[in-house]
Chains A and B, each alone.
Chain A
Amino acid sequence: MFAIVLAVLVLAPFVVVGAAAFSGSWNGVFPSDPTTSHLRDALSGDELASLTVSLQTALLGGLLAVVFGTWAALASRTASAPLVRFTDALYHLPIAVPSVVVGLGLLVAFSRPPLLLNGTKWIVVIAHLVLMVAFTYGTVAAALQRTDDAYADVAASLGASPARVLWQVRLPMLRPAIVSAASLSVALSMGEVGATIMVYPASWRTLPVSVFALTDRGQTFVAAAESLVLLAVTVVLVVTLDRLRGRAVER
């Protein structure tokens, strides 16, 4: 009974998408006409371009989100209590608001002076940055609460400058949290669709938006193949980032 519920609920979707990616048609209970042509379609032309767009957006947006999330978490450690509460609420706002609304806001705000970003790739990167920074801030702030301030205090009392304490004590201690924040934001960014579909220009179409365009046109098998590519690339990125964390712990 447990196995059935688990299989139907959790695993079936991925098995089905994976199977569809390799089949020519699906008219009965099982897929038929095994083929790799969908996968080839998914890795050529426009679809390949979306993959590189998604990778660039996820890496750039993720990097910026990690930098600002970590910065906000570190700075709010020493700031006054009301200010910390304010920052906390501000950085949770993008989680509470639907991504479509975040996208609409960016569209309205940056289609007019002083900043005209509508139609450029930067509006997509900003959307991803805004959505991911909430998660990186949360992850790093939670880790900061668990770390012992004594190390940093001792380093400071021994005469280390604040910059040196930050660079040689605080950041190395937070490295596992920063790495997991990075892999979380890259994974979420690769699959982001709500805000992206509101703001993307034709020249900067991410992978999930391409998958939607394909399903909308009825090319569900190519869409499945492309989703499989999306999954594979995300897993590779997350595993690579996780390796970084593993080595950090060993040291």
Chain B
Amino acid sequence: MAVEALNFQVAPSNKGRQSKRSLWLLPPILLLAALVVYPLVLVATESFTGGLATWREVVGSTEFRNALIRTIQISVTSTIGCLIVGTFLAAVISFVPFPGARIVSGVVDAMLSLPSFLVALSFTFLYGTAGVLGSLAGGFLTTPWAVVLAEITFYTPFVMRPLLGAMARIPRVQLDVAASLGGGPWRVLSKIVLPEVKPALVAGGSLTLLLTLNEFGIVLFLGARDTTTLPMLVHTKGIVMFDYPGACVIAVVQILLSITLYAVLRSALGGRRARLD
């Protein structure tokens, strides 16, 4: 009886402290609820202002379908490119001794926080009609490939960073033994390094896939006629044409696409989700 009374007393007081502590989370939660969730909910309701008619009209348009396909094409191609180039660069930085390797990894870190439109801007000088490679690459700038190349340039460091970390943890001895047993560089890379760094490859690749799906700056600056992506279409409809309901429909599709991908990635990567940030 006494013990029960004691338990009865202890439990609520702990609970009280817990809920009081949880109260401290209320202001930050309310802030994001007001500034992110509420606007997104309004976007969803706004997309239904004309009933289902707006949806039918937008989703049925070839403009939307082309943009959707284009977005996925560019995103997947860029991610594959980033993975190939990033693995190559990270392997060289990690395993081939050369002066300035540390400086290079510092540059890689710095690039992560730079704006993506810089790459697109530089492309107008590199591949533009009056640029470095202008005569060779005539018309390249107006193709989706220009966007893909710009995204590979910008997002490769996002793949390299987790890879560099993972490669630093592979014991050198393991590689030396493989090499001494007659494994060529490519064989060592594919049989030993790649299986070891697979989680980092998956993490970096999926982050890149999400970011390229959402990329706006590069597409805006390259401004190619045939290269309209979903984020670009949201901007055109919302700001240039003032068609809010139409823009909201596309935004909802984009949100569903991105959030689904993000949720799948987070659950698939589990404990590695910190890498996604």
Q: Which residues of chain A have a CB within 8 Å of any CB of chain B?
A: 2, 5-6, 9-14, 16-17, 19-20, 25-27, 29-31, 68, 71-72, 74-76, 78-80, 83, 86-87, 90-102, 104-110, 126, 129-130, 133-135, 138-139, 142, 184, 187-188, 190-194, 197-198, 208, 211-212, 215-216, 220, 223-224, 227, 230-231, 234, 238
Question: Is B153 interfacial (CB 8 A cutoff)?
Answer: yes
Q: Are B235 and A27 in contact (CB under 8 A)?
A: no
Q: B217: which A residues are within 8 A, CB to CB?
A: 193-194, 208
Q: Select which of A17, A126, A191 is within 8 A of B125 by beta carbon.
A: A17
Question: Is B277 interfacial (CB 8 A cutoff)?
Answer: yes
**A20 CB, nearest partner CB in chain B, Å:** 5
A102 to B116, CA, bound (A): 18
Q: Select which of A5, A16, A94, A129 is within 8 A of B89 by beta carbon.
A: A5
Q: Are B25 and A79 in contact (CB under 8 A)?
A: yes
Q: A27: which B residues are within 8 A, CB to CB?
A: 130
CB contact list, B190-244 vs A, under 8 A: 210, 213-214, 216-217, 220-221, 223, 230-231, 234-235, 238-239, 244
Q: Which 7 A-B pairs have the closest CB atoms?
A: A191-B115, A105-B39, A13-B122, A98-B214, A72-B28, A109-B39, A138-B277
Q: Are A96 and B130 in contact (CB under 8 A)?
A: no
A227 to B258, CA, bound (A): 30
12 contacts between A and B (CB under 8 A): A9-B85, A17-B121, A26-B131, A27-B130, A83-B22, A91-B28, A98-B231, A99-B214, A104-B251, A129-B35, A191-B115, A215-B221
Excluding A107-B238, A198-B239, 20 further A-B contacts by CB distance (< 8 Å) are A5-B89, A6-B104, A9-B89, A17-B122, A29-B132, A76-B25, A79-B21, A87-B28, A90-B32, A96-B259, A100-B231, A102-B36, A104-B234, A104-B238, A191-B115, A208-B117, A208-B217, A220-B128, A231-B114, A231-B118
Question: Is B78 interfacial (CB 8 A cutoff)?
Answer: no
In this complex, the interface size class of chain B, counting residues with CB under 8 Å from chain A, is: 35 or more
Q: A184: which B residues are within 8 A, CB to CB?
A: 113
**Smallest CB gap from A110: residue in B:** B39
Q: Are B36 and A130 in contact (CB under 8 A)?
A: yes
Task: Give the most central of B36, B98, B108, B239: most A CB within 10 Å.
Answer: B36
Q: Are A227 and B239 in contact (CB under 8 A)?
A: no
Known: A5-B89, A191-B115, A212-B221. A108 touches B248 (CB 8 A): yes
A71 to B261, CA, bound (A): 28
A197 to B219, CA, bound (A): 13
Q: Are A5 and B235 in contact (CB under 8 A)?
A: no
Q: Are A5 and B231 in contact (CB under 8 A)?
A: no
Q: Are B43 and A105 in contact (CB under 8 A)?
A: yes
Question: Is B79 interfacial (CB 8 A cutoff)?
Answer: no
Q: A197: which B residues are within 8 A, CB to CB?
A: 220, 235, 239
Q: Are B92 and A2 in contact (CB under 8 A)?
A: yes
A193 to B117, CA, bound (A): 8
Known: A104-B43, A105-B43, A192-B115. A97 touches B238 (CB 8 A): no
**B172 CB, nearest partner CB in chain A, Å:** 19
**Smallest CB gap from B211: residue in A:** A95
Q: Select which of B18, B114, B153 is within 8 A of A80 by beta carbon.
A: B18
A21 to B233, CA, bound (A): 31
Known: A2-B96, A29-B132, A97-B255. A16 touches B125 (CB 8 A): yes
Q: A29: which B residues are within 8 A, CB to CB?
A: 132
A92 to B37, CA, bound (A): 12
CB contact list, B1-42 vs A, under 8 A: 18, 21-22, 24-25, 27-29, 31-33, 35-40, 42
Question: Is B274 interfacial (CB 8 A cutoff)?
Answer: yes
Q: Are A101 and B18 in contact (CB under 8 A)?
A: no
Q: Are B31 and A87 in contact (CB under 8 A)?
A: no
Q: Select which of A9, A19, A130, A135 is within 8 A of B277 by beta carbon.
A: A135
Q: A234: which B residues are within 8 A, CB to CB?
A: 114
Question: Is B126 interfacial (CB 8 A cutoff)?
Answer: yes
Q: Select which of A68, A107, A231 is within 8 A of B28 by beta carbon.
A: A68
Q: Are A75 and B25 in contact (CB under 8 A)?
A: yes
Q: B235: which A residues are within 8 A, CB to CB?
A: 100, 197-198
Q: Select which of A11, A96, A211, A223 is within 8 A of B210 by beta carbon.
A: A96
